[in-house]
Amino acid sequence: MKRVFIVLLLLSLVIGMTGCVITVPNITAPSLPQNQTPATPTPKQPLDTGWSPPQLQTEAPTLPSIADVVEKVYPSVVAINTEVVTMDIFRTPLTQEGAGSGWIIDKDGIIVTNNHVVEGAKKVTVELNDGRTFEADPKNIHTDPFTDLAVIKIDATDLPAASVGDSTKLRVGDWVVAIGNPLGEGIRAKEGTISGLKVSLNVEQGQTLDDLIETSAAINPGNSGGPLVNMKAEVIGITSAKVAAIGVEGLGYAISTKTAIPIIEQLIKQGYIVRPWLGVTLYTVDQYVAMVNRLPVNKGVVVAYVRPGGPAAEAGLRELDVITRFKGQEVTTAEKLIDAIHESKIGEEVTITFVRGNETKTTTARLIQSPSPGS
């Protein structure tokens, strides 16, 4: 009986092993078509037998000392605090506080900042780096809304004026430092690089800032009016605006010294900027503007206001006329028309084509010098 059991066990092992056998199919290499021979590889030729690997640089270049730059410019940067009176929905006066920045351009108390920092303020206070505070007389605050620049004169002397550099020498990638009063928390410095030059930015209807410097330096509310400086501790721009959106990294902008210095000079010497003047308030026409105002066209520049006695009034222009051509050139935005006016000459006679109702008319206007603010 035992022998029968052993025989059966051996038989079952043999059968089990047979079931584990894996059959491998025959693999046949592909054959070439008849009368075709394998391609002969092309012999490789050397590219340059005399070439040798470049020498590896063992030391990285040293970055400029931002601390040295900041230390030199800091005494010339000021904090500007403002008070503006506004009305709530019940027409009750409210006083709102604002903060901005500025920098000393002249040792006898002349400060440069942005127009929007001081615009409409009933009180402007300038705090120096040494802790002294001065309230500016409104008569000594001169502004140019078109370029967003302003100068303030305070009753102080022997101040540490900042050096001014040549913004035309800048290159994309240059290191810069933005110094100012972010969030009204005191003077701070933030480094970055130049990411764009000669940039134009539409800041509001009818106003475009040109020749801007775009930088990666962090700029926040309160930085406006502060200096953007190069690695020689020279002011090469005046911080003016910031673009930020969800999902988009913030872009900081500064007005170049090439654009700013001539404006600053006029503000200091005569109190306002002299430009060719038509005497109108303009607005770009689009489908919405055309529908709301029942305009006959949906493209052009609508006249929102005509200054009595000004060149436009003398030429017969009226409110809601839509200007379509200026000096023979088509105009489609208020910014382009304003630029064309400013690029003209004082005393120049210009042709203006406009639409009124169902009629297209042409008139001429003689541009005059822009009046002083308040006149």
At residue 247, the pLDDT reads 56
Distance from C-alpha of 19 to C-alpha of 14, rounded to nearest angstrom:
9
- Looking at the domain 276-369, which fold is it? Pdz3 Domain (2.30.42)
At residue 37, the pLDDT reads 61
The residues annotated as belonging to the active site are 116, 148, 224
Which value, in Å, is the radius of gyration of the alpha carbons in the chain?
36
Task: Tell me the three state secondary structure of residue 205.
Answer: coil
DSSP string covering 108-152 = TTEEEE-HHHHTT-SEEEEE-TTS-EEEPPGGGEEEETTTTEEEE
pTM for the full model? 0.75
At residue 13, the pLDDT reads 43
Distance from C-alpha of 179 to C-alpha of 224, rounded to nearest angstrom:
10
Q: Where are the domains of the chain?
A: 66-153, 163-270, 276-369
CATH no. for 66-153 = 2.40.10.10
Handedness of CA 272, 277, 281, 285 (dihedral sign): negative
Q: Which residues contact 127 (CB under 8 A, 6 or more apart)?
A: 78, 79, 80, 81, 133
Domain 163-270 class in CATH: mainly beta
Q: What is the dihedral of CA 215, 217, 223, 228, to 10 degrees?
A: -60
From first to last of its 375 residues, what are the pLDDT tens digits of the chain? 444 444 444 444 444 444 444 444 454 545 545 555 666 777 888 888 888 888 887 776 777 789 999 999 999 999 999 998 888 788 888 888 999 999 999 999 999 999 999 998 999 999 999 999 999 999 999 999 889 999 999 999 999 999 999 999 999 999 999 999 988 888 999 999 999 999 988 776 667 788 899 999 988 888 999 999 999 999 999 998 776 655 556 789 999 999 999 999 999 999 999 999 999 999 999 999 999 999 999 999 999 999 999 999 999 999 999 999 999 999 999 989 998 999 999 999 999 999 999 999 999 999 999 987 766
Distance from C-alpha of 16 to C-alpha of 25, rounded to nearest angstrom:
22
Distance from C-alpha of 154 to C-alpha of 280, rounded to nearest angstrom:
34
At residue 168, the pLDDT reads 95
CB-based contact 255:211 (threshold 8 Å): yes
Locus of tokens 């010098």 = 369
At residue 203, the pLDDT reads 74
* 163-270 and 66-153 share a CATH fold: yes
